[in-house]
Each structure stands twice: as structure tokens, then as C-alpha cells.
Amino acid sequence: MTTEADARATEPVGMLALWVSVLGAKLAWLAHLALSYPLVPLVCAGGGELLLHTITVVALLAAAGTGFVAWRAWRRLRLANEPDEPGTPRGRFMAVYGVLSSGLFAITIVAQGLPTFVLDPCM
């Protein structure tokens, strides 16, 4: 894999952590929408609004988790003082991006979770 050569340059943070930072919260948001929307008619029939809230909480926790991974990666890469190592600035970019991305998508998950408090699923 091409990325293996890239990965070596980003020590001390692994490639997996950086990809989780970049993509994790986005996938959590996607899963939240893709699960909640089709469930509405079922929730109406079965009365389980708690299920929708649970999905929101789990998605939010996932986004917070990827945010934490990104923040930790960023701190480590900031401490790793190797300006000549080509991977490090790029790794830092991915980590900072991950922190911001996790924040944005966590807010979006919250916004998507709010209607469940207000609206009747059978409306």
C-alpha cells in the first residue's frame, strides 16, 4: 500500500488514529441520520422514542470519541519536534482537521437529536 510509506513518517501517531480523526465523526453523523429517519414510522407504531434518543447519545459519544483521538494525536504531533520529517506537518493537519470535524459533526448530531424531544413521531 502506498499509504504504508506515508504512515512511517507520521510516527508517533499511527495512521489509523489519523483516519479515525478525519472520518470518524462524519460516519457517526451519517449513521445517526441513516438510522433515525427510517425508524420514525416504526417508533410511531411501537412507541419507543427512547430508541431514537439512544441513537443520538451513541452517535454523540462516537463523535466525542473521535474528537478525543484527534486531540491526542494533535498534542503528540505538536510535541514531536521534527520539522524536516515530511509526514509530521501533514499528520498535524489531519489531527487539527479531525478536532474541528468532530466538533462540527457533534453539533450537527445534537441539532438532529432535538426534534425527537419536541415532535410526536406519529405526526
Partner 1 sequence: VATTLDRLERTWSPPAGLMGWLTAVNHRTVGLRYITTALILFLIAGAQALVIRLQLAQPGLSILSPEAYNQVFTMHGTTMMFLFAVPVMEGIGIYLVPLMIGARDMAFPRLNAFGYWVYLIAALTLYWSFLVGSAPDGGWFAYVPLTGPEYSQGLNIDYYVTAITFLEIAALVAAVELIVTIFKLRAPGMAIHRMPLFVWAILVMAFMIVFAMPPLMVGSVMLALDRMVGTHFFNVAQGGDPLLWQHLFWFFGHPEVYIVLIPALGVVSSIVATFTRRAVIGYTPIVLSIVSIGLLSFGLWVHHMYTTGLPALGENFFAAASMMIAIPSGIQIFAWIATIWEGKPVWRTPFLFVMGFLIIFVLGGITGVMVASVPFDAQVHDTYFVVAHFHYVLIGGSVFPLLGGLHYWFPKAIGKLPSERLGRWSFWLLFLGFNIAFFPMHITGFLGMPRRVYTYLPGLGWDVLNLVSTIGAFVFALGALVFAYNMVRSARHGPLADDNPWGAGTLEWATSSPPPPYNFRVVPEVRSREPLWEQERWWASEPPAERQASIVADPEAGRRETPGTSLLDGRVMTRVVLPGPSLWPLGLAIAVAITFIGSLISLWLVPIGALLTYVAIVGWTWPNRARPQAEVNVVAAETPDPQREPVAGSEAPMWWGIVMLIVIETTVFATLITSYFYLSNGAAEWPLGGFSPPDLLLPTINLGVLLLSGGAMYWGDRGIHQGNQRRLIIGLLISFALGVVFLVLKYIEYSDNDYLWDTNAYGSVVWTITGFHSAHVIALLLKTLTVLVLAWQGFFTEKRNLGVEVNGFYWQFVVVVWLPLYAVLYLAPRWL
Q: How far apart are CA 100 and CA 103, in angstroms?
A: 5
Contact (CB, 8 A) for 60 and 110: yes
Q: How far is the CB of 56 from partner 1 (least distance, A)?
A: 10
Question: If binding is defined by CB under 8 A, does position 58 make contact with partner 1?
Answer: no
* Cell numbers that stand for 67 in this block: 474528537
Question: What DSSP designation does 47 have?
Answer: -
Tell which residue, 98, 101, 113, has the closest CA to residue 33: 113
Q: Pick the piece of the chain touching partner 1 (CB under 8 A) from 2-10, 64-72, 76-84.
A: 2-10
Q: Name the residues that contact partner 1, by CB under 8 A.
A: 1-6, 9, 26, 29-30, 33, 36-37, 40-41, 44, 86-87, 89-90, 92-94, 96-97, 100-101, 104-105, 107-108, 111-112, 114-116, 118-123
